[in-house]
Copies of this chain bind each other. A is one copy, B any other.
Protein backbone atom coordinates (compact mmCIF):
# COMPACT_ATOMS: atom_id res chain seq x y z
CA UNK A 1 0.00 0.00 0.00
CA UNK A 2 2.85 2.49 0.61
CA UNK A 3 3.19 4.66 -2.48
CA UNK A 4 6.95 4.91 -2.20
CA UNK A 5 9.47 6.40 0.15
CA UNK A 6 8.82 9.83 1.52
CA UNK A 7 11.16 12.74 0.95
CA UNK A 8 9.32 15.81 2.21
CA UNK A 9 7.69 15.81 5.65
CA UNK A 10 4.04 14.89 5.89
CA UNK A 11 1.44 17.64 5.66
CA UNK A 12 -2.07 17.84 6.96
CA UNK A 13 -3.30 18.47 3.43
CA UNK A 14 -1.70 15.26 2.24
CA UNK A 15 -3.32 13.33 5.05
CA UNK A 16 -6.76 14.69 4.25
CA UNK A 17 -6.37 13.79 0.60
CA UNK A 18 -5.32 10.25 1.42
CA UNK A 19 -8.25 9.89 3.81
CA UNK A 20 -10.64 11.23 1.17
CA UNK A 21 -9.38 8.76 -1.40
CA UNK A 22 -9.80 5.87 1.04
CA UNK A 23 -13.28 7.07 1.92
CA UNK A 24 -14.28 7.09 -1.74
CA UNK A 25 -12.99 3.56 -2.10
CA UNK A 26 -14.23 1.85 1.04
CA UNK A 27 -16.48 4.28 2.85
CA UNK A 28 -15.98 6.23 6.04
CA UNK A 29 -16.83 3.21 8.20
CA UNK A 30 -13.74 1.39 7.08
CA UNK A 31 -11.36 4.32 7.42
CA UNK A 32 -8.67 3.60 10.00
CA UNK A 33 -5.66 5.58 11.11
CA UNK A 34 -3.50 2.63 10.18
CA UNK A 35 -4.88 2.53 6.64
CA UNK A 36 -4.29 6.25 6.12
CA UNK A 37 -0.74 5.84 7.37
CA UNK A 38 -0.16 2.86 5.09
CA UNK A 39 -1.47 4.78 2.09
CA UNK A 40 1.12 7.48 2.79
CA UNK A 41 3.92 5.04 3.52
CA UNK A 42 4.08 6.15 7.10
CA UNK A 43 3.23 4.71 10.48
CA UNK A 44 -0.23 5.40 11.87
CA UNK A 45 1.30 7.34 14.73
CA UNK A 46 2.95 9.83 12.38
CA UNK A 47 -0.50 11.24 11.67
CA UNK A 48 -0.86 12.42 15.24
CA UNK A 49 1.76 15.10 14.62
CA UNK A 50 -0.55 16.80 12.15
CA UNK A 51 -3.98 15.94 13.44
CA UNK A 52 -5.43 15.77 16.94
CA UNK A 53 -7.22 12.46 16.60
CA UNK A 54 -9.40 10.41 14.29
CA UNK A 55 -12.46 12.47 15.03
CA UNK A 56 -10.75 15.62 13.84
CA UNK A 57 -9.47 13.89 10.73
CA UNK A 58 -12.99 12.76 9.87
CA UNK A 59 -14.37 16.25 10.38
CA UNK A 60 -11.66 17.64 8.09
CA UNK A 61 -12.55 15.11 5.42
CA UNK A 62 -16.25 15.87 5.80
CA UNK A 63 -15.63 19.60 5.58
CA UNK A 64 -13.59 19.18 2.42
CA UNK A 65 -16.35 17.11 0.85
CA UNK A 66 -19.03 19.60 1.81
CA UNK A 67 -17.03 22.51 0.39
CA UNK A 68 -17.61 21.08 -3.06
CA UNK A 69 -21.38 21.57 -2.83
CA UNK A 70 -23.28 24.42 -4.34
CA UNK A 71 -24.31 26.99 -1.72
CA UNK A 72 -27.98 27.76 -1.26
CA UNK A 73 -28.92 30.93 -3.08
CA UNK A 74 -32.02 32.55 -4.42
CA UNK A 75 -31.82 32.59 -8.23
CA UNK A 76 -34.28 34.36 -10.47
CA UNK A 77 -36.07 31.15 -11.42
CA UNK A 78 -37.87 30.82 -8.08
CA UNK A 79 -36.76 29.56 -4.69
CA UNK A 80 -38.06 26.07 -5.47
CA UNK A 81 -35.50 25.62 -8.21
CA UNK A 82 -32.74 27.06 -6.06
CA UNK A 83 -33.49 24.63 -3.25
CA UNK A 84 -33.78 21.72 -5.65
CA UNK A 85 -30.42 22.55 -7.22
CA UNK A 86 -28.69 22.82 -3.86
CA UNK A 87 -30.07 19.55 -2.52
CA UNK A 88 -29.19 17.66 -5.68
CA UNK A 89 -25.73 19.23 -5.62
CA UNK A 90 -25.19 18.03 -2.06
CA UNK A 91 -26.30 14.59 -3.07
CA UNK A 92 -24.13 14.41 -6.17
CA UNK A 93 -21.07 15.64 -4.35
CA UNK A 94 -21.46 13.42 -1.32
CA UNK A 95 -22.77 10.23 -2.89
CA UNK A 96 -19.24 9.23 -3.89
CA UNK A 97 -18.02 9.51 -0.30
CA UNK A 98 -20.07 6.82 1.43
CA UNK A 99 -20.69 7.52 5.07
CA UNK A 100 -20.09 11.26 5.01
CA UNK A 101 -23.82 11.99 4.84
CA UNK A 102 -24.38 9.61 7.73
CA UNK A 103 -21.64 11.41 9.64
CA UNK A 104 -23.16 14.83 9.03
CA UNK A 105 -26.59 13.76 10.14
CA UNK A 106 -25.20 13.21 13.62
CA UNK A 107 -23.51 16.61 13.85
CA UNK A 108 -25.10 19.59 15.61
CA UNK A 109 -25.38 21.79 12.51
CA UNK A 110 -25.83 18.84 10.14
CA UNK A 111 -22.47 19.47 8.62
CA UNK A 112 -23.09 22.89 7.26
CA UNK A 113 -20.79 25.51 8.68
CA UNK A 114 -22.33 28.19 10.89
CA UNK A 115 -22.30 30.40 7.79
CA UNK A 116 -23.98 27.70 5.73
CA UNK A 117 -26.64 27.33 8.36
CA UNK A 118 -27.40 31.03 8.63
CA UNK A 119 -27.36 31.30 4.87
CA UNK A 120 -30.10 28.67 4.87
CA UNK A 121 -32.07 30.60 7.47
CA UNK A 122 -31.78 33.77 5.40
CA UNK A 123 -32.91 31.93 2.29
CA UNK A 124 -36.09 30.65 3.86
CA UNK A 125 -36.85 33.96 5.53
CA UNK A 126 -36.53 35.77 2.22
CA UNK A 127 -38.97 33.24 0.82
CA UNK A 128 -41.49 34.16 3.48
CA UNK A 129 -41.00 31.85 6.44
CA UNK A 130 -40.71 33.26 9.93
CA UNK A 131 -37.30 33.01 11.58
CA UNK A 132 -38.46 30.06 13.58
CA UNK A 133 -40.00 28.20 10.67
CA UNK A 134 -37.09 29.03 8.40
CA UNK A 135 -34.94 26.97 10.73
CA UNK A 136 -37.42 24.11 10.75
CA UNK A 137 -37.57 24.18 6.96
CA UNK A 138 -33.82 24.14 6.40
CA UNK A 139 -33.22 21.42 8.97
CA UNK A 140 -36.00 19.40 7.37
CA UNK A 141 -34.43 19.62 3.93
CA UNK A 142 -30.96 18.73 5.22
CA UNK A 143 -32.34 15.86 7.27
CA UNK A 144 -33.91 14.33 4.20
CA UNK A 145 -30.90 14.63 1.93
CA UNK A 146 -28.46 13.33 4.52
CA UNK A 147 -30.92 10.59 5.38
CA UNK A 148 -31.01 9.56 1.75
CA UNK A 149 -27.22 9.54 1.64
CA UNK A 150 -27.20 7.37 4.75
CA UNK A 151 -29.50 4.91 3.02
CA UNK A 152 -27.11 4.68 0.12
CA UNK A 153 -23.94 4.44 2.17
CA UNK A 154 -24.48 0.75 2.81
CA UNK A 155 -25.95 -0.16 -0.53
CA UNK A 156 -23.59 0.97 -3.30
CA UNK A 157 -23.21 -1.97 -5.58
CA UNK A 158 -26.50 -3.25 -4.19
CA UNK A 159 -27.95 -0.44 -6.23
CA UNK A 160 -27.68 -2.84 -9.12
CA UNK A 161 -29.03 -5.88 -7.32
CA UNK A 162 -31.77 -5.15 -4.86
CA UNK A 163 -32.96 -1.77 -6.02
CA UNK A 164 -33.02 -2.65 -9.68
CA UNK A 165 -35.64 -5.32 -9.01
CA UNK A 166 -38.23 -2.59 -9.05
CA UNK A 167 -36.57 -0.78 -11.91
CA UNK A 168 -35.64 1.95 -9.46
CA UNK A 169 -32.20 3.39 -8.93
CA UNK A 170 -30.81 5.77 -6.33
CA UNK A 171 -31.23 8.72 -8.65
CA UNK A 172 -34.99 8.02 -8.91
CA UNK A 173 -35.37 7.97 -5.14
CA UNK A 174 -33.48 11.21 -4.66
CA UNK A 175 -35.29 13.08 -7.39
CA UNK A 176 -38.66 11.99 -6.08
CA UNK A 177 -37.58 12.86 -2.56
CA UNK A 178 -36.29 16.30 -3.43
CA UNK A 179 -39.48 17.03 -5.35
CA UNK A 180 -41.51 15.97 -2.33
CA UNK A 181 -39.39 18.10 0.03
CA UNK A 182 -39.80 21.17 -2.15
CA UNK A 183 -43.51 20.60 -2.67
CA UNK A 184 -44.04 20.03 1.04
CA UNK A 185 -42.28 23.24 2.01
CA UNK A 186 -44.16 25.20 -0.63
CA UNK A 187 -47.46 23.93 0.75
CA UNK A 188 -46.53 24.69 4.35
CA UNK A 189 -45.49 28.18 3.28
CA UNK A 190 -48.82 28.89 1.61
CA UNK A 191 -51.10 27.21 4.09
CA UNK A 192 -50.23 28.69 7.44
CA UNK A 193 -49.60 32.16 8.71
CA UNK A 194 -45.99 31.76 7.57
User: Hey, which bits of chain A sit against chain B, CB under 8 A?
Assistant: 102, 105-108, 110, 132-133, 135-137, 139-140, 143-144, 146-148, 150-151, 153-155, 158, 162, 166-168, 172-173, 176-177, 179-188, 191
Distance between Cα atoms of A166 and B146 in the complex (Å):
22
> What is the bound-complex CA distance between A133 and B184, given in angstroms?
16
Copies of this chain: 2
A176 is contacted by which of B133, B162, B186 (Cβ under 8 Å)? B133
Name the prevailing secondary structure of the A interface residues.
helix
User: Within the complex, which residue of B106, B140, B150, B166 is in contact with A106, where a contact is CB–CB below 8 Å?
Assistant: B150
Of the residues B102, B107, B150, B168, contact of A136 by C-beta under 8 Å: B168
Q: CA A147 – CA B162 in complex, angstroms? A: 21
Given contacts A135-B168, A183-B188, 17 further A-B contacts (CB under 8 A): A102-B106, A102-B150, A105-B151, A106-B153, A108-B155, A108-B158, A110-B151, A135-B166, A140-B176, A143-B151, A143-B177, A146-B147, A147-B150, A180-B188, A183-B183, A183-B191, A187-B187
A155 surroundings in chain B (CB, below 8 A): 108
Chain B nearest Cβ from A84, distance in angstroms: 12
CB-CB under 8 A for A150 and B150, given A143-B144, A176-B133, A184-B183 = yes
Task: Indicate if the CB atoms of A183 and B173 lie closer than 8 Å.
Answer: no
Q: Which residues of B contact A146 (CB under 8 A)?
A: 147, 150
A144 to B107, CA, bound (A): 16
Cβ-defined contact, A184 with B180, below 8 A: yes
B153 with A147: CB separation less than 8 A = no
Given contacts A186-B187, A187-B183, contact A173 B106 (CB under 8 A): no
Q: Which 5 residue pairs spanning A and B have beta carbons closest together?
A: A147-B147, A184-B184, A180-B184, A183-B187, A106-B154
